[in-house]
Amino acid sequence: MNRIKVLEQAIADRIAAGEVVERPASVVKELVENSLDAQATQILIEVEGAGAALIRVGDDGSGIHPDDVRLAVQRFATSKIATAGDLDAIQSFGFRGEALPSIAAVSVMEIASAPAGAPAGRRLRMEGGEIVAEETIGMPRGTVVTVRQLFFNTPARRKFLKSTAREFSLLIDAINRLALAHPAVSFRVIHEGAEVLRYPPGTAAERVAAVLGEDVSSHTLAFSEDAGGMRASGWLGRLELARGNRRQQYLFVNRRPVHSRLLTGAVERAYQQLLPGGRYPAFVIFLEAPPQRVDVNVHPRKLEVRFDDEHQVFGAVERLVHTVLRRAQLIRAVEPVTVGGGDWLTTSPGTLALGDLPPAVETAPPVEVAASGRLPSMRLLGQVQNTYLVADSADGLILIDQHAAHERVLYERLLRARGRGAADGQVQVTPTPLPLQADAFALLTTHQALLAQLGFDLEPFGDRTVLIRAVPQIAVRASPQRVLADLIAELAEGGKATAAQTLLERLTITTACKTAIKAGDTLGRDQMAALMRDLAQTEDPFTCFHGRPTLITVPLAQLERWFLRH
């Protein structure tokens, strides 16, 4: 029988560190929050190896008294609360007194700080939670914390870090969330010696435009309203900003970035009737609530909050977002696009005026399509709801899903181009500049060669812009910015790719899916015939890459049974 014993302090500290320090982004978040609590107006973050090799956060905040530097690295030592009653009115980010000792326990850490008016500052060096050096130094007011060799003494934790690109993306996301909440504070990020991000002080709207990009922020609805005893403000993304993931969702409670299923669920429910399934709205929402109504002490990294009446908060947020959306004009523009000598209407999901709706069945003179490949001969009759093609064959009725069919055609074109080892790219007459957030820029430049295999020729231009010099042939009439936005989202999730479905395969699928004919596109008779001829030339014309059928047949015998003729 094993006897119970108290763990050694070093082991206990490493276990405690695991609750607070999950990855480099966790370290950056904790250190930047300390800087903000110190009333810093300028914060500089330097990283190497996406933070695994080096993280340095410097600020011009109030600093730490030289006699208190040793206390700052002890667990449960803090200047932010004094009594149990203070927990009911938390206004600061850090108040547990865990961050610095937890970081020190799993790294080589150095902290240097000096308060205003002090003749000198104090510097402390620690390895694995133990103080190894201490000295008095001269330095301006503020604090600089340097973290090296993160997880050097916990190799299992280091082994579970994602790719450098993924970890850097998470790190930038953590900074972006804090920068959004503090637009008056200057933020700079240096990665591998190069400045990758700079946010000068400004207004909240200017900071949103800087973080999300002006092309995104210009498609948002600004609001500031009362919501169930709270104050809510922020920006709601218009329908065209919806994505297949939640990466552009930012929530803040009393200026604290949080992840809240309650609040996210309330916002998404308000969008429910406006977006198709699997699409998620973009938003930046700030909730200001009396501290007594919010419990911020429910998560070691302070990422979650609990409200005193969650049902009431859910309803208030849902009604607020619903009201803002319903009073806005959300009709999208419908643009005619010419392809192969004919026209169809390309639209994004949204609201169309009744006069724009097509008749239930779009008819045209029948088009004969000869048997080819594995498909029989057929006579194309028209479209149903601008989504399904209707054809007559010797065996009965054929219905074709135009989107699934075109997905298959484009997907195999990309596969054939890849098989030849020659990307099928179309050079742009005028290169298109694409401004990006720092993490998206890092993803595209890191995977530049991979995207080139699909036909994209991307050239870094400045610190956060790429020039689109060529796009895949299949995407020449699509929006290259929109296609690349979806590819960036796929790259951000690249660590989830399995051996059976490589990242390149997933990018190929995404490119084909986003450039294919959509449900709702009107096809001319020649376009319908061309689509069926192209589908017949594919190796697997019967399903798209999602496994959905491209076409189904209704045998003549079945039609006769339906009409009681057999």
Q: Along the 566 residues of the chain, how does pLDDT read in single tens digits?
A: 554 555 566 555 554 554 568 899 999 999 999 999 999 999 999 999 999 999 999 999 999 999 889 988 887 655 554 444 444 445 555 444 578 988 999 999 999 999 988 889 999 999 999 999 999 999 999 999 999 999 999 888 888 899 999 999 999 999 999 999 999 999 999 999 999 999 999 999 999 999 998 888 888 999 999 888 889 999 999 877 888 899 999 999 999 998 889 999 999 998 875 676 688 999 999 999 888 888 766 545 556 777 878 889 899 999 999 899 878 756 433 333 333 333 333 333 333 333 443 445 555 578 888 888 878 899 999 899 999 999 998 888 889 999 999 998 998 888 888 777 666 677 877 788 888 888 888 888 888 888 888 888 888 887 788 888 888 877 777 777 888 888 888 888 765 554 334 788 888 888 888 889 988 889 988 899 999 999 999 877 877 877 678 888 888 877 887 787 76
pLDDT score at 19: 56
pLDDT score at 350: 38
Residue 387 contacts residue 399 (beta carbons within 8 Å): no
pLDDT score at 274: 66
For 498, residues 6+ apart whose C-beta sits below 8 A from its C-beta are none
pLDDT score at 367: 85
**Strand ranges in 436-524 using DSSP code E only, listed in sequence order:** 457-460, 465-472
Could you give the residue range(s) of every CATH 3.30.230.10 domain in the chain? 206-326
Rg (CA), the chain: 29
Residue 108 contacts residue 149 (beta carbons within 8 Å): yes
For 261, residues 6+ apart whose C-beta sits below 8 A from its C-beta are none
CB burial readout 219-240, b (16+ within 10 A) else e:
ebbebeeebbebebbbbbbbbe
CATH of domain 206-326: 3.30.230.10
For 537, residues 6+ apart whose C-beta sits below 8 A from its C-beta are 372, 373
Tokens representing 5 are: 């014993």
DSSP string, 363-415: EEEEEEE--BTTBPPEEEEEEETTTEEEEEETTEEEEEEHHHHHHHHHHHHHH
**CATH among 2.60.40.10, 3.30.565.10, 1.10.260.40, 3.30.43.10 for 9-202:** 3.30.565.10
The DSSP code for 392 is E
Could you give the residue range(s) of every CATH 3.30.1370.100 domain in the chain? 338-553
pLDDT score at 172: 96
Query: In what order do the strands lie in the sheet containing 142-148?
Result: 130-137, 121-127, 108-114, 142-148, 54-59, 42-48, 186-191, 194-199
- φ, ψ for residue 306 (rounded to 5)? -130, 140
**C-alpha to C-alpha distances, 90 to 272, 324, 412, nearest whole angstrom:** 34, 30, 57
Tokens representing 529 are: 């015939």
Could you give the residue range(s) of every CATH 3.30.565.10 domain in the chain? 9-202
Question: Residue type at 45?
Answer: I
Fold of 338-553: Ribosomal Protein S8; Chain: A, domain 1 (3.30.1370)
pTM over 0.85: no
Q: CA triplet 311, 313, 316: central angle to 5 degrees?
A: 110
Distance CA 115, CA 106 (A): 27
